[in-house]
Amino acid sequence: MLVDNSSYHKKGWKADAFLEFKDLSDLETLPSPRVLNTHLPIALIPADAFRKKNKILYICRNPKDAIVSGYHHFKSDLFIGYSGSWNAFFDLMYKPDDTSPSMWFPNVLAGWTYCQENPETCLFLKYEDMIQDLRAHVERIAKFIDFERTPEMYNAIAKQCTFDVMKPAKLPKEQSMGLLKPGTSLYRKGKVGDWKNQFTVAQNERFNAIISEKMKDTGLTFEFEL
């Protein structure tokens, strides 16, 4: 929206510009400036992005809400097809013997470190902060990517990028892809603190210990409820 100086949602599907879903030759045919998406960790992003000093917006969510979101995504995705319980999923993702398949901590901490070391090309953003003041973050992003717009456009874009507006706007395309079980959506609640409806007291205590260990001395903190 900032690049196009428009507050209208594009009709395309975000996966159309996912690095991991496309050949690089296909992405090169997209008009410049290109706005690309990825779930790849920093270490797997093509080296040209760093060599050419492309602007990177690294967006993440607090790990408690992230694992709950992941659980519901795995259950709704027809290709993943997870059918287990929440308790089983939690134990699978965060095993006590440090053989956990979850890559949230190493991936996010690598992104955090890179952004701290390269503030001119990498902007680290937290979902919780954007929920609290989306308008300010729209302007912050605009200045970072060198596409400054009018205050009125910032207001319009912020309004269109709220969860309540984006969910119905994206749902028709999402349903047409045939990737999810009927009646489910990638856009579920979008709430900060929904983990409290899923975690047991014991799981929360265990997870707090993991957070303290993994994030010690990193300088990275999160809001877990608003």
Catalytic site positions: 39
CA 153 to chain centre: 23
Angstrom distances, CA of residue 94 to CA of 43, 83, 107, 112, 163: 22, 18, 15, 21, 29
CA–CA gap between residue 181 and residue 41 (Å, rounded):
27
Structure tokens at 197: 């409806």
**Cα angle vertex 176, ends 173, 177, to 5°?**
95
